[in-house]
Structure 1
Amino acid sequence: MKTVSLKIDDSIFGETEKILSRISISRNRYINEAIEYYNKVQKRQILEKRLKAESELVKKDTMNILKEFEKIDYAD
């Protein structure tokens, strides 16, 4: 386990404290769960960008292959 010092905006801290007063988890657990959730969101976005980029590459290759097949069809 790592210890981290954070600077949190007053408004975010205040809102967090209000929420924590209504639920039964510690501030530490709440922040850990928030970071874990945000990491998952970021990983999904990174994967989505990567898949889009790879899809574009495949799309270009596929179009080139289709053009080559069209040339073969017309050559017969």
Structure 2
Amino acid sequence: MKTISINIKESVFEETEKLSSELKKSTENYINEAIEYYNIHQNRKLLAQKLKDESYLVKKESMNVLKDFEEIDYEN
């Protein structure tokens, strides 16, 4: 485990204390789980953006390939 020191808004800390108590978890464990969840969320957002960017880069070529397929005469 890594020890860090952070500043948290009083209202956020109070809510964190309340929720961790209701869930019968230590504040430390609650915050660790929250950060893990947030990291997963952010990684998904980054991946979605990367997919969008990559899709845009190949869009023109994909449309050209589609056009080529549309022009093929399948009956002969």
TM-score bracket for this pair, using the shorter chain length? 0.7 to 0.9
Matched, 1:25 2:25: yes
5 Å-filtered alignment, 1:4-15, equals 4-15=4-15
Aligned partners of 2:44, 2:63: CA distance in 1, in Å? 28
- What TM-score comes out, normalization by structure 1 length? 0.81
Task: Name stretches of at least 5 consecutive residues in structure 2 with no aligned partner.
Answer: none
Stretch moving more, 33-42 or 61-70: 61-70
- What TM-score comes out, normalization by structure 2 length? 0.81
Matched, 1:41 2:46: no
Supply the RMSD in Å over aligned alpha carbons: 1.9
Runs of 4+ displaced beyond 3 Å: 64-73
Stretch moving more, 31-40 or 55-64: 55-64
Matched, 1:16 2:16: yes
Aligned partners of 2:17, 2:45: CA distance in 1, in Å? 29
- Greater fraction helix: 1
The structure-2 alpha-carbon separation of the partners of 1:70 and 1:23, relative to structure 1 and needing over 3 Å to count, comes to closer
- Local SS of the residue matching 1:43: helix
Question: Size of the alignment, in residue pairs?
Answer: 73
Task: Name stretches of at least 5 consecutive residues in structure 1 with no aligned partner.
Answer: none
- The percentage of counterpart residues that share the same residue type is 58
